[in-house]
Amino acid sequence: MFLQCTLCGKKYAPDAVKYVCPDHGSDGILDVVYDYAEINRVTSPEKISASRENSIWRYWALLPLKDRGAVPPLQVGWTPLYRANFLGAQLGLNNLYLKDDGRNPTASFKDRASAVVVAKGRELGEKIITTASSGNAGAALAGCAASAHVPAVIFVPKTAPQAKVAQLLIFGARVFLVDGTYDEASDLCLAAAQEFNWYCRNTAYNPYTTEGKKTCALEICEQLAQNQKLVVSKAEPSKIENGKWLSPDRIFVSVGDGNIIGGIWKGLRDLYALGWIDKMPKLMGIQAEGSAACYNAWRAGTDAITPIEAHTIADSIDVGYPRDGRRAVHAVRETGGEFITVSDAEILDAMPQLARGEAVFAEPAAAATYAGLLKAAREQKLDRQEIIVAVITGNGLKDIRSAMQVAGQATTIEPTLEAVRNAMPRAETS
Ligand X SMILES: Cc1ncc(COP(=O)(O)O)c(C=O)c1O
8 binds Zn ion, rule: CB under 5 A: yes
Which residues within the stretch 26-85 sit at the binding site for Zn ion (CB under 5 A)?
Answer: 28
Spatial separation of the C-alpha atoms in residues 171 and 84, rounded to whole Å: 34
Tell me which of 211, 219, 222, 257 binds ligand X, using CB under 6 A: 257
256 binds ligand X, rule: CB under 6 A: yes
Tell me which of 114, 215, 223, 259 binds ligand X, using CB under 6 A: 259
Give the residue from 145, 1, 124 showing the smallest Cα distance to 67: 124
User: Using DSSP, how many helices (H) and how many strands (E) does the chain show?
Assistant: 16, 13
DSSP β-ladder status, 2-5 and 11-12: antiparallel
What would the x/- binding string for Zn ion be over residues 12 to 31, using CB under 5 A? ---------x-xx---x---
396 binds ligand X, rule: CB under 6 A: no
Spatial separation of the C-alpha atoms in residues 251 and 246, rounded to whole Å: 13
260 binds ligand X, rule: CB under 6 A: yes
Give the residue from 199, 187, 65 showing the smallest Cα distance to 123: 65
The residue with its CB nearest to ligand X is 394
Our CB check for ligand X shows the closer of 45 and 372 to be 372
366 binds ligand X, rule: CB under 6 A: yes
Cβ atoms of residues 194 and 26 within 8 Å: no
Among 18-26, 77-85, 133-141, 148-156, which window interacts with ligand X (CB under 6 A)? Answer: 133-141
Our CB check for Zn ion shows the closer of 3 and 286 to be 3
Check residue 380 and give left, alpha or beta (phi > 0: left; psi -120 to 50: alpha).
Answer: left
Which residues within the stretch 303-322 sit at the binding site for ligand X (CB under 6 A)?
Answer: 316-317
Which residues within the stretch 193-222 sit at the binding site for ligand X (CB under 6 A)?
Answer: 203
From start to end of 151-214, where are the E strands?
A: 152-157, 174-178, 199-200
C-beta neighbour count of 231 within 10 angstroms: 10
Q: Which does 316 bind (CB under 5 to 8 A by kind): Zn ion, ligand X, none?
A: ligand X
Long-range contact set of residues 80-87: C-beta below 8 Å, sequence gap at least 24:
81/219, 81/220, 81/223, 81/224, 81/227, 81/389, 82/358, 82/360, 83/227, 83/231, 84/357, 84/358, 84/390, 86/357, 86/358, 87/353, 87/354, 87/357, 87/358
Our CB check for ligand X shows the closer of 97 and 339 to be 339
Tell me which of 45, 77, 258, 357 binds ligand X, using CB under 6 A: 258
138 binds ligand X, rule: CB under 6 A: no
Among 103-111, 217-225, 228-236, 269-277, which window interacts with ligand X (CB under 6 A)? Answer: 103-111
CB of 109 to ligand X, least distance (A): 6
Spatial separation of the C-alpha atoms in residues 223 and 85, rounded to whole Å: 16
Q: 18: Cβ–Cβ under 8 A, 6 or more apart, which residues?
A: 124
What would the x/- binding string for ligand X be over residues 48 to 87, using CB under 6 A? ----------------------------------------
Give the binding site for Zn ion (CB under 5 A): 5, 7-8, 10, 21, 23-24, 28
Give the binding site for ligand X (CB under 6 A): 108-110, 134, 136-137, 203, 254-260, 316-317, 363, 365-366, 393-394
